Structure 1
Amino acid sequence: MKEYIALFYTHSGAIKFNRFCNQNHLECELMPVPRKLSSNCGICAKFKYDKNIENLINDDIEKIYECKSSREYSLVYENEDF
């Protein structure tokens, strides 16, 4: 199962995503955004998922990174509409 970090435009977007994950039995943890990554709101969601990441994308998500190691991240999604 792959591990990801989702960045959000707002705190409420991060909270809504966390609630969605909990309702769908996905492991998710809200935490400060790693310094290596930037975010508008400062809170990110770290989660594990083994299906197509496109299934989780909503308008609140700014970017999604796949965690390659504890300090290495690979951008897998960026919201181009903003």
Structure 2
Amino acid sequence: MEYISIFFTHSGAIKYSRFLKKQNIKNKTLPVPRKLSSNCGIGVKFFYDKDVSEIITEDIEKIFKMSDKEYCCIYRNE
């Protein structure tokens, strides 16, 4: 599955990318599509086939599942 996570801060995005790399999870930092958020502007796109709740950190604002250029919010940090 392909996901994009968005963050409250730029440093949160960078920290999460490093966290995923340590877990051997393929990821890429990229500009967040404007329709998803206008907060920090940097997101992390990653591929994960297990339960995403296992890799949620406090830095994440939202996680979207991506399919056919569509985004479905599957996690929101309240």
Q: CA deviation at 1:47?
A: 0.2
Q: Over aligned residues, Cα RMSD in angstroms?
A: 0.8
TM-score (norm 1): 0.91
Q: Give the distance between the partners of 2:15 and 2:46, measured in 1 at CA.
A: 14
TM-score (norm 2): 0.95
> Which residues of structure 1 form unaligned runs of 5+?
none
| SS of the residue 2:68 aligns to | coil
> Which residues of structure 2 form unaligned runs of 5+?
none
One-letter amino acid matched to 2:33? P
Identity among equivalent pairs (%): 53
Q: Deviations over 1:6-64 (max 9, x none)?
A: 00000110001000111111010000001221141100000000111101111100000
Asked if 2 retains the 8 angstrom alpha-carbon contact of 1:7 and 1:45, the reply is yes
Q: Give the distance between the partners of 1:36 and 1:57, measured in 2 at CA.
A: 22
One-letter amino acid matched to 1:40? N
State the 4+ residue runs in structure 1 displaced beyond 2 angstroms: none
Q: Give the distance between the partners of 1:39 and 1:12, measured in 2 at CA.
A: 16
